[in-house]
Structure 1
Amino acid sequence: MAKLHKHSVYLFYLIGVVLFFSSCGTRKYTVKPAERASGAADAMANLHSKNLYKFITDWAGVRYKFGGSDKNGIDCSGFALLLEKQIYGVDLPRVSKDQASVAKRKNPDRLEEGDLIFFAFGGGRVDHVGVYLNNGYFVHASTSRGVIVDDLNLPVYQNAMVKTGSAR
């Protein structure tokens, strides 16, 4: 019986190793973190507004805090609100779904620096917002990574994007 158990353990181990290596081979469209970092750096370097560049670098890495609105922690709508006010002089509502309601709809293929991007990760309602930069990159307050420049072309964002627009 112990010999049978030992063979079962080896069999499960072998199956696990085979599954692990075969699953890695199916990731055709995975973007490597270094490529994303390079793209984010390029997006920042290509900003037209020096004030926007400074704003983002000042806030980069600030942790996410639901309801937060300062450098001790900020949420996505608070970040968008501050950015739009300080850089473009635009007053936005405090909550992302309300921000979406005041943004004039814009075709995602025609986004410009400073446009808003709205997402629905939890279903049909807007529950996240970011600000478009250029070349498919945007800045937002990520719940897991804080304020960060991210690749809008990643499937997680493409699948959750529900509206793009401008408050200006």
Structure 2
Amino acid sequence: MKNSLLYCLAAGSLALSFFFERAPDASATARATSAPVVAEASLLPALTTGEPATELLAAGDPPAGKPTPAALAASRDSLTYHYYAQTLGLHLAFNENKDLLRTVTDWIGAPYSYGSNSRRGTDCSGFVTRVFREVYGINLIHSSRAMFTNTKRVAKSEMQTGDLVFFRRGKGPIYHVGIYLKDGKFAHSATNGGVMVSSLNQPYYHHNFYAAGRVPAAAEADANAVEQALVAAAE
């Protein structure tokens, strides 16, 4: 009986020693599995670019896949200009006065209303006065004839964005005004459709086009806007 008890104790001792020799230490396992992951992650930039990881960190470059603020701003500008180009039917150089393009876009579809100048209804000169006030801070007289008298004449071939275009029938008085955009197109409030963009090449407007006029302060503001856009693009 005594020998049987000794045999049992010996067998139990062997089993326990076998278990403790084979069972892994939990903390050691965690260290063994986590260390390679960290090392692999730290070496990943070097493997993908061929440069030492320490040099990449010292360079101060943003993490891959995260665009810089300048890139984000450029992307937003690009989307904005594409939207204006599609809405207004223009080929834009992406350096035009965005305030003018945005304001004209916001007015598209406003109905025609003689003597008025709101988005609920506006005539041609009312539309022009509102755009110039909102974009340039310039107050023009609510009259196409008065605008014609108070603007600087420019040749049709030298028209710039923001110039005014005037129309008259034969030798009659000035009866219509719009804002030149580019590509031969102008924004105006027409009696048969409200605020829209039309082409000077359309037979009706081509036949009745009389002259173009420039508001110096507005032209200067547009030139400054173009310059700022070019500087921003260069940066």
Q: Give your verdict on TM over 0.5.
A: yes
How far apart, in 1, do the equivalents of 2:114 and 2:170 lie? 15
1:87 aligns with 2:135: yes
Q: Which has the higher strand share?
A: 1
Indicate conservation of the 8 Å contact 2:87/2:105, yes or no: no
1:73 aligns with 2:121: yes
1:101 aligns with 2:149: yes
How far apart, in 2, do the equivalents of 1:39 and 1:72 lie? 20
Indicate conservation of the 8 Å contact 1:63/1:73, yes or no: yes
How far apart, in 1, do the equivalents of 2:92 and 2:116 lie? 24
| Structure 2 counterparts to residues 114-153 of structure 1, below 5 A | 114-121=162-169, 124-153=172-201
The range that moved more, 78-87 or 129-138, is 78-87
Give CA deviations for 1:34-93 in whole Å, capped at 9, x if unaligned.
xxxx79422578670111121112110000000011111000000111112221232211
Task: Report the CA distance shift for 1:74/1:43 in structure 2 as closer, same or farther (over 3 A).
Answer: farther
TM-score by length of 2: 0.52
Q: Structure 2 unaligned runs (5+)? A: 1-85, 217-235
How far apart, in 1, do the equivalents of 2:201 and 2:158 lie? 14
Write out the 4+ residue segments of structure 1 that deviate beyond 4 Å after TM superposition. Answer: 43-47
How far apart, in 1, do the equivalents of 2:143 and 2:177 lie? 9
Give CA deviations for 1:106-164 in whole Å, capped at 9, x if unaligned.
00100000000001148520010000000100000011011001111112111111121
User: Which one of the candidate residues 112, 116, 122 is aligned to 1:64?
Assistant: 112
Letter in 2 for 1:101: T
Task: Report the CA distance shift for 1:39/1:83 in structure 2 as closer, same or farther (over 3 A).
Answer: closer
| Structure 2 counterparts to residues 23-38 of structure 1, below 5 A | none
The higher-RCO structure (CA 8 Å, 6+ apart) is 1
Q: Structure 1 unaligned runs (5+)? A: 1-37
Indicate conservation of the 8 Å contact 2:179/2:186, yes or no: yes
Task: Report the CA distance shift for 1:43/1:95 in structure 2 as closer, same or farther (over 3 A).
Answer: farther
Letter in 2 for 1:134: K
Indicate conservation of the 8 Å contact 1:90/1:167, yes or no: no
**What is the root-mean-square deviation of aligned Cα atoms in Å?**
2.2
SS in 2 for 1:93: coil
User: Which one of the candidate residues 97, 102, 105 is aligned to 1:49?
Assistant: 97
Indicate conservation of the 8 Å contact 2:113/2:121, yes or no: yes
